[in-house]
Amino acid sequence: MSGRKTPRQARQLLGIRGWPIRYNPRVTSPIRDRFDAFFRQGRDIIRRDWDPYLARYYRKLFDEPREVAGLLRWLTRLTRHCSVAETRLLDAGCGFGITSAAFLAIDHPPREVVGLDPSEGKVAMLRRIAEYMHAEDRLKAVLGDAQELALDDASFGSVFVKDVASHVADRDRFFSEVARVLVPGGRLLFTDENNSLSIAGRRARQRIWNEAELGPIPADGYLKRPYLEERFAMITEVRPELSEADRHLLAASSKGMWGEELRDAVRLWTPGSTLINTADFPYRSPLSGEYLEYLFNPFELADDLSRFGLDAKVIPPSYRTGEPWKQRVGDLIGATHPLSIIVQSSFYIVATKRR
């Protein structure tokens, strides 16, 4: 078929089934009103009364009200590919739970959202946000490890994963757990900014890597000290008899090693020899083994998800912005899918659990 495409044909080319769900900023609800009101408090109040890292990480949402509408529009666009309406949705690795809360503010929200995170402080913050939005009955916060979910089998119709798998210490366990809690036919909506095929975020990613490894660490950031200093402290604990110069040498040469892997290598090391670095990635937390911005090939990852009983496909990217002109540019980029994968650092995957 040639010539101008109809809207239905255009949606089919982009892999969108049925009529799109449109975000309408004029449609209101008590939960959406409270969600908007949370950000209208402003960054200074959030920093003082809530959490300084929350204020820093989501500064755009607090400084630009239209960015809040952009967040809701972004989630609405994603639900074209993976409807969450009336499902029980798990936000695995939710952080402060801003996206968990936002799901309840879209036009066709889940009936319940469960935000899960290993940080007690972030889970407590999500509970406060749920109370602020008067949504405690529909927005739940759970403390837990996404690699070992203390949740029932087949208990969620939808699972949302944003920028989590590029950090967990054991990705196979993580994906296995996600598949386990999905109902047969349930959907995983996966997005991550660490796209190995794109050069767009390379400079920013390298800055994040260097900052975590060498410092300086932001005063309101989540890391207490650089990875290099953490390894030096661990080496000092294991081999206090070594000279300071040797301990610094070991800290520099053990980049990416963590936990007992690092401790065992240090115990076996003799002065004058070369430390054998067995790390599979150079930027991992020495304490927890969490990856820092691990890179994925989106298409290889989609294929790999079949090992966990998930049929997956890479879908067109969706640009999150409150700027109308940026949204139009993002739509044009998305229309070039799959070539768009090399332009945007973020990628998106929808996976369905086999029945």
Instruction: Please tell me the distance from the alpha carbon of residue 158 to that of residue 306, in angstroms, as a whole number.
Output: 17
What confidence score (pLDDT) does residue 326 get? 84
Tell whether 87 and 223 lie within a shared domain: no
Residue 282 lies in a domain: no
DSSP-assigned states of every residue in 71-88? HHHHHHHHTTTS--TTSE
Residue 286 lies in a domain: no
Percentage of the residues of the chain whose pLDDT score is greater than 90: 74
Averaged pLDDT score across all residues of the chain? 89
Say whether pLDDT at 297 is over 80. Answer: yes
Query: How many other CB atoms are found less than 10 A from the CB of residue 355?
Result: 8
Tell whether 51 and 89 lie within a shared domain: yes
Q: What mean pLDDT do residues 73-98 have?
A: 93
What domain range is 213 assigned to? 202-268
User: What is each CA distance from 146 to 92, 115, 143, 157, 158, in whole angstroms?
Assistant: 6, 11, 10, 17, 15
CATH number at residue 180: 3.40.50.150
CB distance 197 to 337 below 8 Å: no
Residue 258 lies in a domain: yes
Say whether pLDDT at 13 is over 70. Answer: no
Tell whether 57 and 116 lie within a shared domain: yes
Say whether pLDDT at 200 is over 90. Answer: no
Residue with tokens 């912005």: 321
| Burial category of 46 from C-beta neighbours within 10 Å (exposed 0-12, middle 13-18, buried 19 and up) | buried
| Number of independent structural domains in the chain | 2
Tell whether 141 and 260 lie within a shared domain: no
Tell whether 91 and 158 lie within a shared domain: yes
* Residue 198 vs residue 182, higher pLDDT: 182
Say whether pLDDT at 40 is over 50. Answer: yes
Tell whether 107 and 25 lie within a shared domain: yes
Tell whether 240 and 309 lie within a shared domain: no
Domain boundary among 253, 268, 283: 268
What confidence score (pLDDT) does residue 5 get? 45
Residue 92: pLDDT band (50, 70, 90) is: very high
Residue 235 lies in a domain: yes
Tell whether 315 and 166 lie within a shared domain: yes
CA atoms within 13 A on the CB side of 184: 2
Tell whether 315 and 260 lie within a shared domain: no
Tell whether 234 and 300 lie within a shared domain: no
What confidence score (pLDDT) does residue 121 get? 93
Specify which residues 114 forms β-bridges with.
Answer: 90, 140
Instruction: Please tell me the distance from the alpha carbon of residue 219 to that of residue 306, in angstroms, as a whole number.
Output: 42
Residue 135 lies in a domain: yes
- Give the list of residues 6+ apart from residue 229 with CB closer than 8 angstroms, or none: 215, 251
Residue 275 lies in a domain: no
Q: What is the tens place of the pLDDT at every residue in 305-337?
A: 999 999 999 999 888 888 888 888 888 888 888
Residue 346 lies in a domain: yes
Residue 341: pLDDT band (50, 70, 90) is: confident
Instruction: Please tell me the distance from the alpha carbon of residue 273 to that of residue 103, in angstroms, as a whole number.
Output: 55
- Give the list of residues 6+ apart from residue 275 with CB closer than 8 angstroms, or none: 250, 253, 254, 265, 266, 269
Tell whether 229 and 342 lie within a shared domain: no
Residue 280 lies in a domain: no
Tell whether 317 and 215 lie within a shared domain: no
What confidence score (pLDDT) does residue 182 get? 97
